[in-house]
Every structure is written in structure tokens, then in C-alpha cells.
Amino acid sequence: MAHIILASSSRYRQQLLRKLGLDFDCHSPAIDESPLPDESADALVLRLAQQKARAVAALYPKGLVIGSDQVCVNQGRILGKPGTREQARAQLLAASGNAVTFYTGLAVLDAASGELHSLVEPFTVHFRRLNDTQIDRYLDREPALDCAGAFKCEGLGISLFERMEGRDPNSLVGLPLIGLVDLLARFGVEVP
């Protein structure tokens, strides 16, 4: 089986990849993640996923490198990780009662041949109407400062939603496993 390298330091992506039962190494890519002028959310995450895979592939001349990137779009505005409680609170207030779409870019690169396959996985979350007290209680129990959208759907964050739409809820955590299995199959890696 091919040597698999996850181009990420995200513990969330590592946990997801472990679900597939594959052996893999991790290496954090050092790239500039700034959006280009007028770049759409789906173009941004696709570009960054591919850049992450290429950056790490330069260090591993053999193997399959997985790159992934995610952004959250609320009312046409691209949101990243909040970083602070104030920003998390603002993101959740803005999401209240709205549909928020997450775009996750995924790329798998064969470092030896340069063959690259990639995709963008959209996933939409419909938020309940949230009041200040609910948001504060959520942030007290599960501060999600390192998560785009300021919530963890794999935890208490699920209580913030009315419904979800999309092919793979794992994409909300940052690694769409259904799409990844499809891309890995193109390189002869069969899961299970």
C-alpha cells in the first residue's frame, strides 16, 4: 500500500482519517492561506488544498499526500476560525436563523508521478434562531475558537442546528471521507 501523508496538523482531520483504518503520517504545510482578490470560497479551498498537498509532497518524494482546507460562508461572507470568544460569538450571532455553507477542498497527490485529483465538498447547516444566552452557554461549554463557524458539530454544536444538507457530514469537521475514499481509489487504495 502507498505511504499516505496528511498535509495537516489539525487533530480533527487526523481523527477523521483514522476512521478509515489507514496508516499515515502527518506533516504541517507552510503555506500562505490568504484569499486572492475576488476569489470565491470554492476556488479558495480547492487552491489551498492543492497547495498544501504540493508543499508536503516536496518533502516526501514517494507517497500519496492528502491536502484539505475549509471555509465557512455566511450571507456571502467568507469566515475563518474565530480565534477569540468575541469573534466566535459574532459568528454564531450572524449564523442564527440562517443557512451557512461550508466548503471543504480536498486534494490527493501522488508525489512521485505528480498525478493530482481534487474536489470541493459543500455542506450546508441551517441554524436555529439563537439568543445571546444560548450562544454564551454554548461557548462556556464548548469554545470552538479553532473551528470555522465557531462550533463543533461532533459535540454540543449539533444542538445549534435545525437541519443539515450535504453528502458527507465529516466535511464539517474538515475532511470529507466519502470524497477521500473516492479519490484514494483512483490511486489504487481501496477502503475498506
* Residue 76 forms part of a structural domain: yes
Q: Which of 23, 25, 69, 136 is catalytic?
A: 69
Task: Please report, for the domain that includes residue 31, its CATH number.
Answer: 3.90.950.10
Could you give the CA distance from residue 154 to residue 149 in angstroms, rounded to a whole number?
A: 13
Average pLDDT on 23-34 reads: 94
- The gap between the terminal CA atoms of the chain, to the nearest Å, is 13
pLDDT computed for residue 8 by the predictor:
94
48-105: pLDDT as tens digits: 999 999 999 999 989 999 999 999 999 999 988 899 999 999 999 999 999 999 999 9
* Residue 94 forms part of a structural domain: yes
Phi-psi group of 180: left, alpha or beta (phi > 0 → left; psi -120 to 50 → alpha; rest → beta): alpha
User: Catalytic site residue 132?
Assistant: no
* Count: domains in the chain: 1
Q: Is the pLDDT of residue 2 over 90?
A: no
Could you give the CA distance from residue 140 to residue 127 in angstroms, rounded to a whole number?
A: 19
* Residue 173 forms part of a structural domain: yes
Do 174 and 12 meet the contact criterion of CB atoms below 8 Å apart? Answer: yes
pLDDT computed for residue 86 by the predictor:
97
Domain of residue 92, residue span? 4-186
Could you give the CA distance from residue 153 to residue 172 in angstroms, rounded to a whole number?
A: 7
Could you give the CA distance from residue 14 to residue 24 in angstroms, rounded to a whole number?
A: 9
